[in-house]
Amino acid sequence: MKETILKLLPQAYPWRQQLLCYDSIDSTNTQAKLLAAQGAAQGTALIARQQTAGRGRMGRSFHSPENGGVYLSLILRPQCPAQSLMHLTCAVAVAMCQAVESASGLRPGIKWINDLVVGKRKLGGILTELSLRPDGTVDYAVVGIGINCCQQAGEFPPELPHATSLAMETGKEIDPCVLAAAMLQALQAMEETLLSRQAAIMATYRRDCVTLGQAVAVHSPAGIRHGTALALDDQGGLTVAFHDGTTQCVSAGEVSIRGMYGYIS
Ligand code: BTN
């Protein structure tokens, strides 16, 4: 797998020496965080054929079977305060739309804040985790992405009725190594403009985001509130007009959204 991915990457890809591939791992994000805490450099990427304990947002698991998806985590070390990275998950989502499009010809949509979708089905997800120094600056960020690539209809477990894969959506076999190489390239390009082109990144996110204009249910510890998603700010905050007449900007750390898609994100 590693040799194939390296052959697919351009020679100019700057993180060639930092690619780690595994047949099976508990979670690429968990292991990336351990490596980052031990000093692994920016650009270290972990790719697995299978995860035995793949993780999603809000403590959920991420189904990660062998011969199913691409499971990838990348260590970044942006030199900035955490407040400057509120848009990181959105930037990764835009990069992954580009990667999927370049590998398969299909451009997914984004269900706020971290899901890649095709129609009403979930194609993949993003889990971003930060470690901060005592002064509030970022020590490292781990961006983890799982994209369902090869599964056929009927291969997802019954508890994932809304899941889909690139094979199911395109009717073609997409080589996971081709997808993985496209993901690495898109992430490396994203890193170059992450802090300097936030407004442009968020403009693309808004274009790809399928949540805007839709009915949403906002789940928080305080309860569930229903409304309509109106707008997205440059930090990834979602403005929701609630049915009780109030309007609020909600952030992904605080709430999850259940909308027309029926599943929680
Ligand atoms: C979600 O759907 O809430 C996010 C899913 C993120 C899954 C990816 S797979 C690679 C990386 N390792 C993990 O354990 N999770 C992320």
Which is nearest to 114 in space by CA: 178, 48, 208, 189? 208
Model confidence band, residue 262 (pLDDT cutoffs 50, 70, 90): low
- For the chain, the maximum distance between any two Cα atoms, rounded to a whole number of angstroms, is 57
pLDDT on residue 258: 64
Residues of the chain with pLDDT > 70, as a percent, come to: 95
Is pLDDT of 113 > 80?
yes
Determine the distance separating the centroid of ligand 1 and the alpha carbon of 137, expressed in angstroms. 24
When mean pLDDT is compared across 15-29, 161-175, 220-234, the lowest value belongs to 220-234
| pLDDT tens for each residue of 167-223 | 999 999 999 999 999 999 999 999 999 999 999 999 999 999 999 999 998 888 888
| pLDDT tens for each residue of 122-180 | 999 999 999 999 999 999 999 999 999 999 999 999 999 899 999 999 999 999 999 99
As a whole number, mean pLDDT of residues 95-103 equals 98
| pLDDT tens for each residue of 72-94 | 999 999 999 999 999 999 999 99
Tokens of 179: 């997808």
As a whole number, mean pLDDT of residues 234-262 equals 82
pLDDT on residue 83: 93
pLDDT on residue 146: 98
User: Given ligand 1 and candidates 34, 44, 49, 62, which is best to mutate, with the most ligand atoms within 8 Å of its CB?
Assistant: 62
Tokens of 164: 């889909």
Which atom number of ligand 1 is nearest to the Cα of residue 55? 14
**What is the rounded CA–CA span in Å between residue 11 and residue 89?**
27
Determine the distance separating the centroid of ligand 1 and the alpha carbon of 157, expressed in angstroms. 17
| pLDDT tens for each residue of 60-72 | 999 999 999 999 9
* CA distances for 131 relative to 32, 80, 135, 189, angstroms: 12, 12, 12, 22
pLDDT on residue 265: 46
State the CB neighbour count (10 A cutoff) for residue 53: 12
User: Given ligand 1 and candidates 21, 145, 149, which is best to mutate, with the most ligand atoms within 8 Å of its CB?
Assistant: 145
| pTM to 2 decimal places | 0.95
* CA distances for 204 relative to 21, 25, 163, angstroms: 31, 33, 24
* Ligand 1 proximal residues by C-beta, below 6 Å: 27-29, 51, 54-57, 60, 62, 71-73, 114, 125-127, 144-146
Residue 235 pairs with which residues in a beta bridge? none
Q: Are strands 19-22 and 45-48 parallel, antiparallel or unpaired?
A: parallel
